[in-house]
Structure 1
């Protein structure tokens, strides 16, 4: 692994390059993290996936969005448009460092939605892998608010409920109004257009939101595959996000695409 800072002097981003092992492929892979507590939950899985892909000859790059992790910026400065540009910068960095001709994007949860936005806005991609994607931003925020409400009931001094209050912090992570508005505007199943690259939907269980996305993608007539990979262990969101079976599926899909 080779850690680095990239981007501009005003907006430095932190990334890690996992060099290809053995015969190098002409396609590289950029991994797009999720956000908030899901970033913390899946950091190990991303590191493991990067190693698996590197052993198959891929140059792999993972990075922190502006205002998150070890990148520059304050946490309250995070915006969807900024993070989409960060993906473009990460792709450029990987191509500059390694010379790979094409780059595939693997995005988890919010990272999947950001990857789609980057491809829609002109970023050329070899493939899109949407791993347990956040399909509807408003529904995702409701999930976080429900988790926060459950956490509050277990605290010694729970906060009083206020139906008019919009929290600017969820599960210990800032969610300022501007970022919430950005996320609410995201709905993959309602996009008027879709990137022409092959899209893989990789999920551990079928959900209504994934069914909506499948139906939407089916109407586009563009290359699309749905991969249902059952959870391992006791089940639940954590086992889905840390599933070795899913990591192996993603690795196999990218080998076939390359």
Structure 2
């Protein structure tokens, strides 16, 4: 069995997945299930995608990661939050309350579709913030893996607003004589309509085990995948991390200054990190 899994782990690209809809007709989520390469898996992985422009930018990357995990024996479910990606709704209908409901629905679907006993939530970047809210309100994953998590929502929101202003004034996106002609809009951010509720949710969120409400440490264990700079006390989540995996310095940076419509992929060094993480999860399962 080990040799077979190693052979599959060495493959690259995206394997087959099963697309389907979650939820009621008026509030449907797009989901993709990557089934396990082995029968009777005990542990499944639920992917919580990053927010705003980082979501479409990372779609290929997450699909490759989910395919790799499934090939190694970990069924994986990707989904789009309501109002984002291919799910129903408008982007200004999304907030942390709706995202918590989406996480519950997706977790139930993974358990039912993949017949797994335990669930790992793989929270990418700012998805860590609504995932923390979800856990504080009763979500019960067995493990949470934080991928370069956003720690301080208010600081990240200010960063997004600066990036939004830069995009609106980009000479490469608009003709020089029209640069700056696209005015800021407090109800849009990074090319998406956004509700005041979501802005408030993000501004008030911090990934901390010491928050008086929505404390994310209740009943959950945490691993993290961090770049070397995030290993400093100022950059690490204020959580008890059981394991930390090093992200290669040449890995795609979802929060970089790349254009917001840039796509990112799994390269050789990142693939090795993903396989190390998958083997660790298999040992947990």
Distance 1:115 1:253 in 2: 22
Out of 188, 191, 202, the position equivalent to 1:172 is 191
In structure 2, the partner of 1:232 is 250
Using a 3 Å threshold, how does the CA distance of structure 1 residues 234 and 180 change in structure 2: closer, same or farther?
Answer: closer
Q: CA RMSD in A?
A: 2.7
- Is residue 185 of structure 1 aligned with residue 165 of structure 2? no
- Is residue 29 of structure 1 aligned with residue 45 of structure 2? yes
Secondary structure of the structure 1 residue equivalent to 2:47: strand
1:24·1:57 contact (CA, 8 Å) conserved in 2? no
- Is residue 145 of structure 1 aligned with residue 166 of structure 2? no
Using a 3 Å threshold, how does the CA distance of structure 1 residues 13 and 215 change in structure 2: closer, same or farther?
Answer: closer
Q: Normalising by the residue count of structure 1, what TM-score does the alignment of the two structures yield? A: 0.86
Using a 3 Å threshold, how does the CA distance of structure 1 residues 78 and 234 change in structure 2: closer, same or farther?
Answer: closer
Secondary structure of the structure 2 residue equivalent to 1:72: coil
- CA positional deviation for 1:253: 3.1
Out of 196, 207, 217, the position equivalent to 2:239 is 217
1:231·1:240 contact (CA, 8 Å) conserved in 2? no
In structure 2, the partner of 1:81 is 97
Using a 3 Å threshold, how does the CA distance of structure 1 residues 233 and 105 change in structure 2: closer, same or farther?
Answer: closer
- CA positional deviation for 1:211: 2.6
Structure 2's unaligned 5+ residue stretches are 1-16
In structure 1, the partner of 2:228 is 205
- CA positional deviation for 1:149: 2.6
Using a 3 Å threshold, how does the CA distance of structure 1 residues 85 and 230 change in structure 2: closer, same or farther?
Answer: same
- CA positional deviation for 1:254: 1.8
- CA positional deviation for 1:207: 3.6
Secondary structure of the structure 2 residue equivalent to 1:188: coil
Q: Normalising by the residue count of structure 2, what TM-score does the alignment of the two structures yield? A: 0.78
Distance 2:24 2:107 in 1: 14
Secondary structure of the structure 2 residue equivalent to 1:28: strand
